[in-house]
Amino acid sequence: MRTNGDGDSPMRTDGDAILLLKGQEVIELLDGREPEVMSRVRLAYEAHARGQTGLPHSTFLRFPADDKNRIIALPAYLGDSFDVAGIKWVSSFPDNIGLRLNRASAVLILNSTRTGRPEAVIEGSVISAQRTAASAALAAEHLHADRNGTLFGLVGTGVINFEIVRFLRTALPQLKTCVVFDTAGERALQFARHCRAEFPDLAVEVAGSLDEVLSRCALVSLATTAATPHIDDLSVCPPGSTLLHISLRDLTPGVILKCANILDDIEHVCRAQTSVHLAEQLVGHRDFMRCTLGDILLGKAVARDDPADIAVFSPFGLGILDLAVADLVCELAESQGRGTLIESFLPKAWGDGFNLGA
């Protein structure tokens, strides 16, 4: 928790006030700040690799006779230079897309690490998308060996891959052409038009098949809504390819076992029937997992043992990343006078006014 300079009173609270930040405010506060977001995400990964975080397992709320929709709670504590605690409550309802709504919605609550009292309530889907994209771009920056390649691929055309385009261009500015594929062809065309409008200097091509993307692009982001693995062959991929396996359930266990696997957190990713989890169940061990991204960032592990290996980054999505970016958002809001302070949100302390010395 940042302070107001006296080392005691937190800036983002005023008595019982809570700072409320809406989605559009978060968008405006983070506009053009991709390098800062990536820096915060990197610091969070490094703190986690040094054991300076508290990260319970996510809790999945599912509904009877409904295997598609879910709401997830991600509590976390991020220490080191941050000292911030909180929770993200994020839903995933894929059919929202047909209702012209975002698939995911989220809220973040930040708590004081001194008193435990809530200090900020923040729209969380924007932060969630940007921290995911920053994580993917950070992985690409350190795993992808081809610094001359100008081509990258996207499988899935939702908000996550759109943000990944933005952050990849920050991390790897040599990327000039994006090849896009989605099983919904019209959606891919709309996505391409959106990218061209947002990034006028980026060439965007729509591929006719998944294999076209995998064969043409040595750097590919997989961000789909797949519930079960569907990619069982990577033989078309160029040697040394890097796959950002953001949706976690695109690659079959057999494919995972043939790749160099980098995770964000081994314990977390081996849950919820992710591709990595299924591979662990298949072989009964975790020897196929190389290391975490945090290990690479701290120099505890090299990015690749063999430059010809296909590297797969499978991030479960850690709540500490949301806290790191939310902390930045709150700092920016405070410095710019943004957001709404809700006064006297909490009740008075029980016994307030009693003469306890009588």
12 has pLDDT over 60: no
Question: What is the DSSP secondary-structure string of 137-157?
Answer: HHHHHHH---SS--EEEEE--
**Rounded Cα gap, residues 246 and 314, in angstroms:** 6
For residues 68 and 118, membership in a common domain is answered with yes
For residues 23 and 143, membership in a common domain is answered with no
The dihedral through the CA atoms of 26, 28, 33, 36 has a sign that is: negative
345 has pLDDT over 90: no
For residues 202 and 84, membership in a common domain is answered with no
What is the pLDDT, as a whole number, of residue 358?
52
Please report, for the domain that includes residue 252, its CATH number: 3.40.50.720
What is the pLDDT, as a whole number, of residue 350?
80
Q: Is 326 inside any structural domain?
A: yes
Mean pLDDT score, 73-93: 96
Question: What is the DSSP secondary-structure string of 301-321?
Answer: S-S-SSTTSPEEEE----HHH
Lowest mean pLDDT across 12-21, 31-40, 218-227, 291-300: 12-21
Mean pLDDT score, 246-255: 98
What is the pLDDT, as a whole number, of residue 11?
46
Q: Are 271 and 314 in contact (CB under 8 A)?
A: no
The tally of domains found in the chain comes to 2
For residues 114 and 72, membership in a common domain is answered with yes
CA proximity to 125, closest of 85, 158, 95, 81: 158
Q: Is 236 inside any structural domain?
A: yes
For residues 157 and 114, membership in a common domain is answered with no
Mean pLDDT score, 284-302: 97
CA proximity to 20, closest of 342, 347, 345, 344: 342
Mean pLDDT score, 174-203: 97
Q: Is 267 inside any structural domain?
A: yes
Q: Is 12 inside any structural domain?
A: no
For residues 172 and 292, membership in a common domain is answered with yes
For the chain, what percent of residues have pLDDT higher than 90?
85
For residues 136 and 120, membership in a common domain is answered with no
Q: Which of 275, 295, 314 is the last residue of a domain?
A: 314
Query: To the nearest whole number, what is the mean pLDDT of the chain?
Result: 93
For residues 88 and 153, membership in a common domain is answered with no
Convert the pLDDT of each residue in 133-152 to its tens digit: 999 999 999 999 888 899 99
> By residue range, what is the domain housing residue 25?
18-127+319-342
For residues 151 and 279, membership in a common domain is answered with yes
348 has pLDDT over 90: no
For residues 81 and 139, membership in a common domain is answered with no
Q: Is 291 inside any structural domain?
A: yes
Residue 344's pLDDT band, with cuts at 50, 70 and 90, is confident
6 has pLDDT over 50: no
Q: Is 309 inside any structural domain?
A: yes
CA distances from 309 to 143, 144, 234, 258, 314 (A): 11, 11, 11, 9, 15
Convert the pLDDT of each residue in 51-66 to its tens digit: 999 999 999 999 999 9
What is the pLDDT, as a whole number, of residue 355?
67
Mean pLDDT score, 160-167: 98
2 has pLDDT over 70: no
Please report, for the domain that includes residue 37, its CATH number: 3.30.1780.10
88 compared with 7, residue with greater pLDDT: 88
For residues 138 and 267, membership in a common domain is answered with yes
Residue 225's pLDDT band, with cuts at 50, 70 and 90, is confident
Lowest mean pLDDT across 29-38, 147-156, 175-184, 342-351: 342-351
Q: Is 63 inside any structural domain?
A: yes
What is the pLDDT, as a whole number, of residue 8?
37
The residue written with tokens 């800062």 in the block is 36
For residues 93 and 23, membership in a common domain is answered with yes
